[in-house]
Structure 1
Amino acid sequence: MARYRNALPQLTDRLFTTDGGLETTLIFHDGIELPAFAAFDLFSRPGGRERLRAYYDSYAALAHARRLGFILESPTWRANCDWGAQIGYDADALAASNRAAIDLMRELRDRYDSPETPMVISGDIGPRGDGYQIERKMSVAEAADYHGEQIRTFAATEADFVSAMTINYVEEAIGLVRAAADAQMPIVLSFTVETDGRLPSGQELRDAIQTVDGTAVVAPVYYMINCAHPTHFEHLFGAGEGWTRRIKGLRANASRRSHAELDNAPNLDDGDPAELGRQFAALRRACPGLNVVGGCCGTDFRHVQAICFACQSVDLAA
């Protein structure tokens, strides 16, 4: 079973990395069609598992070569029932895909894990609706019930924890945390923000984190920000307020565009990898507790490599 479930090694200030924008890499660089943005569908296609393995292998090898920890984030962001149903998956097929994803992460962990390069497995969970827009808010109870099935599936695998990514309103966040507590799974909660640093619901990130922590019987082990550019949220860390210490991870977009602009863009904006690395380094200098770094939409190996190099330079200079 899971190696780290009760003692996650990324809870120190040691630098961990993860992968980049899986779905945008597959679609725009590899020319692979992903209905509903569902990377997990590759497990049902000839050669799909091998393509996913090659994608993750490059990032895990980078972490191993740089002597960094690595978060193996499963390709299951869309592997919940509403999104699965759109492309023909029932509950049993979804559970099988979630298990297959963790099994692939286990294979990579067993290849690269070492005392110097701990490989930690995360069962990745996405929002019920669109990550950028709130189409219909669930109650806390609805969210706990909805996401509980996927979380329970991960709890029966070798996943060390679950990560809820691109969450855009607080009721779904609280429901996810409750479902994880019921399944006795550690959870990392990652909010997305707009260009002003607020959630798509309009709530301030500080208030969202404090609300979740204030209502949770078992709080998230830490928080992250994903699917936004550093220029959208870097101002949140400038005041040195205590709540920002609950944020340990960043998975940034390559583009400075807003969510609405990205939705309407005809092509991929991959930004400037070197600049993105410098922006991560600046955040790492300001907040040494920000130690889990990686990419989101539009990023690829180049961006994550630049982020790793820049953040390691900060650590070496400290």
Structure 2
Amino acid sequence: MAAATLHQLDRPFLTDAGLETDILFNRGIDLPHFASITLLQTDEGRQALEDYFSGFIELARRMDTGLILESATWRASLDWAEPLGLSREELDALNNEAVSLLICLREKAPAGLPIIISGCIGPRGDGYDPGRIMRPEEAEAYHFHQAKVLVAAGADMLSGITMTNVPEAIGLARAARKSGASVAISFTVETDGHLPTGEELRDAIATVDESTASYPAYYMINCAHPTHIASSLEDGAAWTERVRGLRANASRCTHAELDAMTELDKGDPVELAELHRQLKEAFPQLTILGGCCGTDLGHVTAIAEACFSHCAVVWPAISSATASLRAG
């Protein structure tokens, strides 16, 4: 089974779902500091990861799509070593193992299934609150360490997931370039479609592209409901073509509300899939779809069946679809 390459992304690709919320709430396994990297410290945790990812491999096979597998390293950069009770060397080893696990799963996958292994890099701080914002140079220096570990482990590309602010996204993109890897930058947005720092998505993408010579291979949006995401996209705008993927939350709640929850809000998978279908109709360049907080294999299955069951059909440009989402 050979790795897929980024030039193949014009075909549909699935991603996984909300790994951490699935493991915590659906599988009952504790994740200190919401760090799925800790699963690799035990046989039980490793098996849980293999079981989790195997479901998405089977879904991609059934739907005849490609698949992007994100390593369980979203909260595994250097600042998290001490809170997790790890040395830097131990954390590096777990980052390496997270990629190795995905390589093993790809080797066992059905022949001909295009799989891209992505080294996942999360924000230095909280995924909902930008907190102290680094300068791009500081962010580059910080994220380069994890980037080079993931690339050395065999990741095909890197993904900056749940980016809350522009300077960190710039630094991460530069760190990826320094490591020699392609990178996708995925911003999160609030209910008004703006970044947590208040910028509009169009301005955030423009600034990152201007500051990195358009180094990111593409952009994504994650950790927001489709009704929040729709208000951040612009019909017919050239910049919107840079947004290739969505990993939405199941819940319509705000980030602050989600942060305070003690029970999982799974939302309505059928409605979630329909909203994705409408977004896909309005923005045909969205070829990469998956899930984020509160979603699991069932949600992504519903999304895939709604959006990719008739991939040969040319999606009509229906601006009313976007309007109905924004009215959400």
TM-score, structure 2 normalization:
0.92
Letter matched to residue 260 of structure 1: A
Aligned residue-pair number: 313
1:70 aligned to 2:64? Answer: no
Question: Secondary structure of 1:120's match?
Answer: strand
Q: How does 1:39-118 map to 2 (within 5 A)?
A: 39-112=36-109, 114-115=111-112, 117-118=113-114
The structure 2 residue matched to 1:225, chosen from 221, 224, 248, is 221
CA shift in 2, pair 1:135/1:236, >3 Å: closer
The structural deviation recorded for 1:313 is 3.5
The structure 2 residue matched to 1:33, chosen from 30, 34, 42, is 30
Partner of 1:247: 243
- Runs of 4+ that moved beyond 6 A: none
Letter matched to residue 99 of structure 2: I
Q: How does 1:1-318 map to 2 (within 5 A)?
A: 3-4=3-4, 7-12=5-10, 14-112=11-109, 114-115=111-112, 117-217=113-213, 219-318=215-314
Kindly provide the CA deviation profile for residues 40-68 of structure 1, in whole angstroms up to 9, marking residues without a partner as x: 10111232111110110011111112111
Letter matched to residue 306 of structure 1: A
Residues in 1 aligned to 2:261 and 2:310: alpha-carbon distance in whole angstroms:
34
The structural deviation recorded for 1:8 is 1.4
Partner of 2:318: none
Question: Secondary structure of 1:47's match?
Answer: helix
Kindly provide the CA deviation profile for residues 59-115 of structure 1, in whole angstroms up to 9, marking residues without a partner as x: 111111211100011111011111232111221111111110111110111122543
Kindly provide the CA deviation profile for residues 170-202 of structure 1, in whole angstroms up to 9, marking residues without a partner as x: 000000011111111100000000000000000
The structural deviation recorded for 1:286 is 1.2
Partner of 2:317: none
Unaligned runs of 5+ in 1: none
Give aligned-pair identity as a percent: 49
CA shift in 2, pair 1:73/1:113, >3 Å: farther
Unaligned runs of 5+ in 2: 315-328
Kindly provide the CA deviation profile for residues 192-222 of structure 1, in whole angstroms up to 9, marking residues without a partner as x: 0000000000011100000000110461000
The structural deviation recorded for 1:11 is 3.0
Retained in 1: the 8 A contact 2:208–2:214? Answer: no
The structural deviation recorded for 1:316 is 4.3
CA shift in 2, pair 1:36/1:144, >3 Å: same
The structural deviation recorded for 1:238 is 4.8
The structural deviation recorded for 1:317 is 3.6
The structural deviation recorded for 1:10 is 4.1
Partner of 2:326: none
Question: Secondary structure of 2:231's match?
Answer: helix
CA shift in 2, pair 1:110/1:138, >3 Å: same
TM-score, structure 1 normalization:
0.95
